[in-house]
């Protein structure tokens, strides 16, 4: 069954402006009769998979682009991935790599082809114009997530779901965001654990903010700032560390 998600999204702390600009005609095998302006490129690593991100602008609605890609991939018997984790990745990557900050339409298509290559296209637009974020990887590792080491001793029975790293030209990590899921333990128990764990791991808590669903911390360590959050969703607690 065809599933392409369109959602409204919130502002994220990171914003990286790409510096590579040139005119690029999208390959006809990918986007028949579409022309686009290529406005940026960057490297990322997602769950241990190194990938290239390219950003395009196009005078077409995002739904039309995603429909075209879906039909082509379905015809080639590609394996599709649709779940909340993929949606989090798409949402986060648009906040990092996007420039226009369109908030009327947002969607993605994520699939693995017959040669085990990962293809991930994120589109956002205003109904007439769109930004396209195209992500490709030669291989796709679905084993246990190792990702970036954030230097924090984490709550017991926690699972790292997602690790995103923005890379330099030398493949060094510039920014990262790690997401963990804790099925057991309530938010207050988890909050108390991290109050001690962060201090024991030499993180200085600069600011705390609590509401009904989220605990948010701004941290500092070795003159670097970090963001730490505990969010309760569907009787599960999610932990995010970014810096």
Which DSSP string corresponds to 108-120?
EEEEE-TTS-EEE
> For 63-95, what is each residue's pLDDT tens digit?
888 888 888 888 888 888 776 667 777 777 777
C-alpha to C-alpha distance for 79 and 114, rounded to whole angstroms: 8
- DSSP label of 131: E
Q: Which residues of the chain have pLDDT under 50?
A: 1-36
C-alpha to C-alpha distance for 101 and 97, rounded to whole angstroms: 10
Judged by DSSP in three states, 65 sits in helix
Residue 156, classified by CB atoms within 10 Å of its CB into exposed (0-12), middle (13-18) or buried (19+), is exposed
- What is the CA 215 to chain-centroid distance, rounded? 21
Q: What is the rounded radius of gyration, in angstroms, for the C-alpha atoms of the chain?
A: 19
> Residue 3 has what pLDDT?
35
> Residue 201 has what pLDDT?
92
> Residue 141 has what pLDDT?
58
Q: Please list the residues that pair with 218 across neighbouring strands.
A: 207, 227
Q: Which helix (H) or strand (E) holds 10?
A: none
Which DSSP string corresponds to 205-227?
EEEEEE-SSEEEEEEEETTEEEE
> Residue 143 has what pLDDT?
61
Cβ contact 154:239 at 8 Å: yes
């Amino acid at each position: 069954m065809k599933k392409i998600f369109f959602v409204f999204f919130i502002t994220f702390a990171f914003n990286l402006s790409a510096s590579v600009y040139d005119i690029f005609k999208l390959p006809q095998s990918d986007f028949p009769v579409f022309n686009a302006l290529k406005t940026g490129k960057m490297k990322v690593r997602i769950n241990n998979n190194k990938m290239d991100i390219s950003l395009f602008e196009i005078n077409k609605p995002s739904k039309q682009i995603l429909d075209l890609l879906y039909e082509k991939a379905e015809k080639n018997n590609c394996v599709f991935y649709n779940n909340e984790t993929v949606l989090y990745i798409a949402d986060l990557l648009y906040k990092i790599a996007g420039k226009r900050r369109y908030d009327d339409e947002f969607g993605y298509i994520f699939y693995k082809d017959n040669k085990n290559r990962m293809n991930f296209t994120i589109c956002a637009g205003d109904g007439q114009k769109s930004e396209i974020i195209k992500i490709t990887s030669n291989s796709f590792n679905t084993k246990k997530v190792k990702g970036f080491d954030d230097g924090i001793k984490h709550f017991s029975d926690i699972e790292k779901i997602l690790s995103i790293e923005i890379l330099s030209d030398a493949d060094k990590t510039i920014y990262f965001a790690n997401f963990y899921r804790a099925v057991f333990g309530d938010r207050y128990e988890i909050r108390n654990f991290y109050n001690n764990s962060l201090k024991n791991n030499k993180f200085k808590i600069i600011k705390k903010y609590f509401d009904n669903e989220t605990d948010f911390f701004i941290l500092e360590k070795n003159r670097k700032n970090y963001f730490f959050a505990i969010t309760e969703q569907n009787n599960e607690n999610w932990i995010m560390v970014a810096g």
